[in-house]
Structure 1
């Protein structure tokens, strides 16, 4: 009898062990283990806007690893045969597209709400967009009107304008990209006419070319310069915080918007959880929070922004070919540097 009981007990333990293993494997495939590993290139502010509420709503625990875009993408490359991450939040659309082989295709049901030009592209989803703007110190600008790039050639502004160096600053290179789109013939993404404008602009900037993006908007807000070529997020942050001596101008010639990417990592062990995270980031609630609680702009048609940001429908949008821009970047930077060096 003891031998029979021992045999039955051993059989039961083997069965339970097998059943647990089968259950664990199923959980790994379906995401039922309630875990998600998130790689992100974004700020703590943005992550805190999304992750805590996602965890509370779904019960899924999120483990976060942050780093620069290049660093994170290299890590994903090295882990391709045994992925450690489930989702990547951050990096530019163009950079993500160039590494699309690392990601798992997924189109969220929320795609029907996304603005044209920012919809799902294979494995690449876009969740927010940013743009270049002109920041004005109203105490220093006087009666000079600035509605766009052309107004920056006003001789009265000579030496009062500041920009970062497009060879060192992504925000300055974004302005260069925007200028190429605005001053080139329709269907073109750069032109002699656009470069003629760059030369004239640098002459009016008169040497105020800084190495730091943040130094530009801080310099305008602090009263060192009347006008700065900067980007939307920090510029609108000053307005949100109550700075009434500054104005954010969206160029009347046209504004190029660049998307930030959100992807599921290929080979994820938590696919269902990853899909839930994509859906959550593209939900109306989170897309609205980007523009109301922060100074970011969602990609949903119905996304709202706070009073510190201009509604998208009031901004003249223009487009460019980001693949072309990527191919031309080195050439443009070299030409820009030559113009900066030889400015009158």
Structure 2
């Protein structure tokens, strides 16, 4: 099943690329103002319980939220390419936004007024085309270990430690073809080390018995039921486990943690551009960011907006390692296909 899902993801990437040439000639940027009777359609993978009511209360615009994991949202957008049903996409994963930008399906050359609110991290994450806007970044994986199985003295401290013999058949991670944060995690290693060395790095993990699960909640379950003892786990899942009193500890590796950037973008075909632009402005307000930080499990991230403090129990100013969006997009199909091949060996 993992092989099928991963190859489906690769297929959609290829199909999206093949249709790129025609998108510019068939899709025209909308200049229409918003229809108050028509809700703003937002595709997202987090904050779906709180962001709608907050936005409606702040602006008066109605909003329809469509939530899903990273693979689901990307598949939906690819399937709707000829007739997009969305106005806003707001999700993890810098590669997807770079790819959509290149395909010409995002509204570009527009700068929100609240771009001035961005801090140094936010400024560094801005797209060159002004087509997608960073709302924050979080560790796509930190190291988490079960304290009933591993002592603090013997716990892994670096990513390379996960390939040590003492962790044979004991490590797990999420599938980069399914979980939105998982591809930014693996892509950083491939970019930093180069494609061949990246394959060697993860190949060593797989030779040591590392296991791949569809999504991060599946990794959490495996860590608790004893299927694995150590995990490369997205940070909000890790801190939620800690808050729930589970027998785990979180390790921020010495070299840093690969990060996933959460971006927001407007569909070039949107007929609701006034409301869509208001949504981007809303996301880049300090008050909105403060609300998201305090919202619960998904509030574990580094905000792109100035003067927004992270959760008190999170590492302050963590070293986030961010793969370049364009590089990640260009190499996405190759990397995901390679992972799919490893899962069936």
So what's the TM-score if we normalise by structure 1?
Answer: 0.73
CA distance in 2, matches of 1:334, 1:77: 23
Query: How far has the Cα of 1:152 moved from its partner?
Result: 1.9
Query: How far has the Cα of 1:91 moved from its partner?
Result: 5.9
SS in 2 for 1:253: coil
Q: Is structure 2 residue 31 aligned with structure 1 residue 59? A: no
SS in 1 for 2:48: helix
CA distance in 2, matches of 1:212, 1:293: 22
Query: How far has the Cα of 1:243 moved from its partner?
Result: 2.0
Could you list the per-position Cα deviations for residues 123-161 of structure 1 after superposition, in whole angstroms to 9, with x for gaps in the alignment? 212223232222211221123132221222333222322
Whether contact under 8 Å (2:52, 2:63) holds in the other structure is yes
* Partner residue, 2:3: none
Cα distance change of structure 1 residues 212 and 111 upon mapping to structure 2, 3 Å threshold? closer
Answer with 1 or 2: which has the greater Rg.
1
Q: Is structure 2 residue 310 aligned with structure 1 residue 305? A: yes
* Partner residue, 2:98: 97
* Partner residue, 1:138: 147
Q: Relative contact order: is structure 1 or structure 2 higher (C-alpha 8 Å, sep ≥ 6)?
A: 2
Q: Is structure 2 residue 45 aligned with structure 1 residue 37? A: no
Whether contact under 8 Å (2:92, 2:180) holds in the other structure is no
After superposing the two structures, state which structure 1 stretch, 139-148 or 151-160, moved more. Answer: 151-160
SS in 1 for 2:42: strand
Whether contact under 8 Å (1:291, 1:309) holds in the other structure is no
Could you list the per-position Cα deviations for residues 181-201 of structure 1 after superposition, in whole angstroms to 9, with x for gaps in the alignment? 45x2xxxx4343x44333332
* Partner residue, 2:88: 87
Q: Is structure 2 residue 163 aligned with structure 1 residue 153? A: yes
CA distance in 1, matches of 2:213, 2:36: 49
Cα distance change of structure 1 residues 255 and 270 upon mapping to structure 2, 3 Å threshold? same
* Partner residue, 2:124: 117
Cα distance change of structure 1 residues 207 and 198 upon mapping to structure 2, 3 Å threshold? closer
Query: How far has the Cα of 1:65 moved from its partner?
Result: 4.2
SS in 1 for 2:49: helix
Cα distance change of structure 1 residues 39 and 248 upon mapping to structure 2, 3 Å threshold? same
Cα distance change of structure 1 residues 309 and 283 upon mapping to structure 2, 3 Å threshold? same
**Structure 2: 5+ residue runs without aligned partners?**
1-30
Cα distance change of structure 1 residues 37 and 209 upon mapping to structure 2, 3 Å threshold? closer
Query: How far has the Cα of 1:166 moved from its partner?
Result: 5.0
* Partner residue, 1:6: none
* Partner residue, 1:229: 232
* Partner residue, 1:24: none
Whether contact under 8 Å (1:88, 1:263) holds in the other structure is yes
Cα distance change of structure 1 residues 325 and 268 upon mapping to structure 2, 3 Å threshold? closer
Could you list the per-position Cα deviations for residues 26-45 of structure 1 after superposition, in whole angstroms to 9, with x for gaps in the alignment? xx9554837542231324xx
CA distance in 1, matches of 2:315, 2:124: 20
**Structure 1: 5+ residue runs without aligned partners?**
1-27
So what's the TM-score if we normalise by structure 2?
Answer: 0.73
CA distance in 2, matches of 1:200, 1:336: 13
Cα distance change of structure 1 residues 34 and 278 upon mapping to structure 2, 3 Å threshold? farther
* Partner residue, 1:282: 284
CA distance in 2, matches of 1:328, 1:273: 34
* Partner residue, 1:215: 218
Cα distance change of structure 1 residues 42 and 235 upon mapping to structure 2, 3 Å threshold? same
Query: How far has the Cα of 1:234 moved from its partner?
Result: 1.7
Query: How far has the Cα of 1:72 moved from its partner?
Result: 3.8
Query: How far has the Cα of 1:262 moved from its partner?
Result: 1.4
CA distance in 1, matches of 2:280, 2:114: 9
CA distance in 2, matches of 1:267, 1:198: 40
Could you list the per-position Cα deviations for residues 32-91 of structure 1 after superposition, in whole angstroms to 9, with x for gaps in the alignment? 837542231324xx12221102212222222344563234424653336xxx65433336
CA distance in 2, matches of 1:169, 1:31: 33
